[in-house]
Amino acid sequence: MDKNSLAHTKWNCKYHIVFTPKYRRQAIYGKIKKRYRSNIKKTL
In a domain, 2, yes or no: no
Q: Is residue 4 part of a domain?
A: no
pLDDT at 37: 85
How far apart, in whole angstroms, are the C-alpha atoms of residue 3 and residue 12? 5
pLDDT bin (cut points 50, 70, 90) of residue 2 is low
Whether 35 is in a domain gets the answer yes
In a domain, 9, yes or no: no
Within a domain: 5: no
User: Does 29 map to a domain?
Assistant: yes
Residue 12 near residue 3 (C-beta atoms within 8 A): yes
Q: What mean pLDDT comes out for the span 6-32?
A: 75
Question: What's the number of domains the chain is made of?
Answer: 1
Q: What pLDDT is stored for residue 28 in this prediction? A: 74
Q: Does residue 19 surpass a pLDDT of 60?
A: yes
Domain interval for residue 35? 18-44
Residue 23 within a domain: yes
Query: Residue 3: inside a domain, yes or no?
Result: no
32: part of which helix (H) or strand (E)? helix 22-43
